[in-house]
Amino acid sequence: MNIAQYIDHTLLKPTATSNDINQLCEEARNYRFAAVCVPPPCVSGAKKYLTGSDVKVATVIGFPFGYSVPAAKLAEAEQATADGADELDVVINLVALRAADTAYLTAEIEPIVALAHQNGRLVKVIIESGILTDAEIVVCCNLYTAANVDFVKTSTGYAEKGASVAAVQLMRQHLPSSIQIKASGGIRTFEFAQELVAAGATRLGCSASVAIVTGAKAAGNSGY
């Protein structure tokens, strides 16, 4: 398995420096990762560094807690798009989800999806599956299918539980084939990454990306 092609090489620490982002981009170029995922202020720098490569630049919107008002999230998405982000990883408002306010969640995501698709960008919605019930995960799958997002993503990495095989399997059962799944949060080994892909994930958000692909190579798998 060429695990590198699934990986969004991620650095979202608030203390990340430009040198850290440059190193992330260099690793992504060398290992041929699908994308880098960087903080919003770092998008333009990452885009410039990766000029000429196939590596995409992703960033986060409403990160990490998702309770920014919709207008603020849309403004973030507009700025990220202007800065050159190829993919927008948007955190949903869990307060609204827990209140069963699906109308709010729909109104929040639809303008972002419209903006992204008009500009040839992708939208990944982060639902924080590790702290949701199965029923809430299914609600999210149905809601974001209707909103025509490109990916549903498991986790921010900031909650007490990240990606799980069970959550990815449940999401795959309740999403159409046109909507992909990104698993993230706590993925540190090639073996776990492989399990998540087998369960239905087509992207993996990882900060331990290099260890994952080099571990795969050491084990005799085609990691990159």
pLDDT in tens, 162-199: 999 999 999 999 999 999 999 999 999 999 999 999 99
Would the pLDDT of 81 be above 70? yes
> Please, what are the domains in the chain?
3-218 (3.20.20.70)
**pTM for this predicted structure:** 0.95
Look up residue 161 and give its two tokens.
């539980």
Mean pLDDT along residues 28-45 = 98
The whole-number pLDDT of residue 215 equals 76
* 73 catalytic per annotation: no
Of residues 47, 56, 73, 153, which has the active-site annotation? Answer: 153
Would the pLDDT of 120 be above 50? yes
* 89 catalytic per annotation: yes
Cis peptide before 64 (omega within 30 of 0): yes
Of residues 8, 86, 89, 150, which has the active-site annotation? Answer: 89
CA gap 20, 41 in Å, rounded:
13
CA gap 84, 116 in Å, rounded:
11
- CA neighbours closer than 13 Å in the CB half-sphere of residue 193: 28
CA gap 172, 167 in Å, rounded:
9
Categorize the per-residue pLDDT at 216 as very low, low, confident or very high, splitting at 50, 70 and 90. low
Q: Which residue has the tokens 């025509």?
A: 148
* 153 catalytic per annotation: yes
Q: What is the overall mean pLDDT for the chain?
A: 95
